[in-house]
Structure 1
Amino acid sequence: MTREEKSIAIENLTAQLAGSNTVYMADISGLDAETTSNLRRACFKAGIKLEVVKNTLLEKAMEASENNYEDLSTILKGNTAILLSETANAPAKIIKEFRKKSDKPVLKGAYINAEIYIGDNLLDSLASLKSKEEVIGEIIGLLQSPAQRVISALKNQFKDEDAA
């Protein structure tokens, strides 16, 4: 890879990192071609971009990024694939699903909404994170609940007055 190609690759990676609040890093080495293809297909269906990257290029892209990736550079050893998503828990769910059949992919770390997570032991916690849409739905439900009770009470009050 020439210096110019590396520079372009770093710029592309930096742009991808800047465009996503959710970046997972995983080790997918050792997966056969069919399993890797199935993983890519599952990621595509879930709206996740999966890309195998060179650690040195990813490290330089993280340094050039406006986001603070702090300690994530320490996990850049061996093979690294990045999973970029709009939904915080989607990559963790995909990894968890694939782990039912194999011991890979292994979660190295994640950057989610300016928070750093390092280690495969956090996979279950990350998979259980609620998406922005789920949290908004719960808040709306909580806000509607008291209003619905008031409306129901008023309806019952008017029914009682009409019956009298």
Structure 2
Amino acid sequence: MSCNRNSQQAHPPVGGVLSKNDLDVSKERMKNLNIIERKHMQDWINAQPVKFYPTQLNYWTNAENFDKRERRQDNTLISYSYELYDFDQTKIYDAPFERRDAKFGHFDELKAVENALRFIHDGEEVTLLVPSSLAYGTYGDEKKIDNDIPLIIKLKAL
């Protein structure tokens, strides 16, 4: 299994500066949270009838060898939509998030979504299992997604 536990970066709060000790504590917290979330996600995967495969960026997908495919280049266009679910498989927002003709290298998206869009085929739909560090992290989305919540993302290239 691919696991980038040691590559997690600790970031100071917006408008603030953390000491080295505070950054170390934050980094250790994220590392421990990632371990707990990955175990929870693996237990969830083991109970599913569909297989999921790890990716190099630390999320899972239901497409085998997904991030070994040809990678879309910067400045290419893609249209896509995705829906967010928690691990109880409850849909978080009624309407999907959708973007038309987004240009790689020039849009800001969840890390796992942007990475997956590099490898998805046109018309394909994939399910991503995403730890909180690649989703909305320690702040949530300040609407319906709390802090430190891993997500199931159903992503489709339109």
TM-score when scaled to structure 1? 0.28
Q: Which has the higher helix share?
A: 1
- Structure showing greater radius of gyration is 1
TM-score when scaled to structure 2? 0.29
Choose between structure 1 and 2 for higher RCO, CA contacts under 8 A separated by at least 6 residues: 1
